[in-house]
Amino acid sequence: YIGKDIQFIKTEIGDLRKKGNYFTGSTLFYLLYLLIIVLFGAVIILLRHHIKKASDIRLRKMNKAQKVAKKRLSQAKHYQKNQEHDKFFEEILQALWGYLSDKLSLPISDLNKDLAHEQLTNHGIDDECLNDLFRLIDEAEFARYAPSAERSSTYDILQKAMNGISSIEQK
């Protein structure tokens, strides 16, 4: 019965080599592992940068100033089509002053022509562009608050406002 009923305990170790190729020990495995760690770190850095950028309200306002102004100007165009002159001029003024406020990071209550002129000059905007912009603001204020006075064409004022914002944005 010896050797037939119970297997005999082997005293030799035998051949302990790997049989076949395994992915977990290969260099490709370690390279992919390292790549995943690097990508994870990059994602964390990008998310932190995005969160920091999104939390800077001043920077967001500066970047969205033109978009908000164009939205207001399109609303002014709607008032122009409906012959609502008071609302048209009010929207033009809000678009221009709001744009300057957002671009210069100043509250509208503190903003005036002298301060805006000084700040825009410091940012490298030429005097001709600024004079055109402030002349447009004067014209819109005069048309809004003195309705019996002779008015410029609302189409011209709308075009001047669009051009003024675009020229400041380019410079």
91 CB-near residues (< 8 Å, 6+ apart): 72, 73, 75, 76, 79
Provide the 3-class DSSP secondary structure of residue 107.
coil
Report residue 65: phi and psi, to 5°.
Answer: -60, -45
How far is it, in rounded angstroms, from Cα 8 to Cα 5? 9
pTM for the whole structure:
0.64
pLDDT tens per residue, range 32-46: 999 999 999 999 999
Tallying the residues shown for the chain, one arrives at 171
Q: What is the pLDDT of residue 129?
A: 85
Q: What's the CA angle centered on 156, arms 107 and 128, to 5 degrees?
A: 60
pLDDT one-digit tens code per residue, 157-166: 888 888 888 8
